[in-house]
Structure 1
């Protein structure tokens, strides 16, 4: 585990103007994974994009943590269905080209 791939939760709190408890609640819901690097609680940089979305949903739409969980589950389901639909459309094109 390299420290350069992680961002301190305290830095994120300062940058996004949220409390540490917000990240703790996200972790309790299973929405983020907090990792301790050199005695500092951090998030992996790959999760920052999702965290930014969660913060915007929370701050701009006033959605609580449980609501954010629901929204992200629905977004994942939509993405999965979109991928399945694209796959089926590609298969359909193969059959259409044969005729």
Structure 2
């Protein structure tokens, strides 16, 4: 694997001014997946927006990793319910016309 699809955690620690232990905790509770690429701990670029959201919740709102996990689970549930609602509305339109 090459680093082109991954972001080194060292860069994230420097840029966002967080400790490496914060990312290890996020990995332990399943919020991010840390991968070793070329002897460097990294996260995939596809998860960059999630990592940024997590860091902002932690720094700006002072939410601990467990609280962030709960928030992400609730947001996932909301998105699922919204998709289901759209689907049900579309089926209902078939019977209204």
Q: Give the TM bin, normalised by the shorter chain.
A: over 0.9
Unaligned runs of 5+ in 2: none
| CA deviation string 1:24-51 (max 9, x = no partner) | 0000000000000000000000001001
**Structure 1 segments of 4+ aligned residues over 6 angstroms from their partners:** none
Unaligned runs of 5+ in 1: none
Cα distance between partner residues in 2 of 1:2 and 1:11: 16
Alignment of 1:87-98 (within 5 A): 87-97=87-97
**Is residue 67 from structure 1 mapped to residue 67 from structure 2 by the alignment?**
yes
RMSD of aligned alpha carbons: 0.8
**Superposition TM-score, scaled by structure 2 size:** 0.96
Cα distance between partner residues in 2 of 1:16 and 1:96: 52
Deviation at 1:2, TM superposition (A): 3.2
1:81 partner SS: helix
Equivalent in the alignment of 1:55? 55
**Is residue 81 from structure 1 mapped to residue 90 from structure 2 by the alignment?**
no
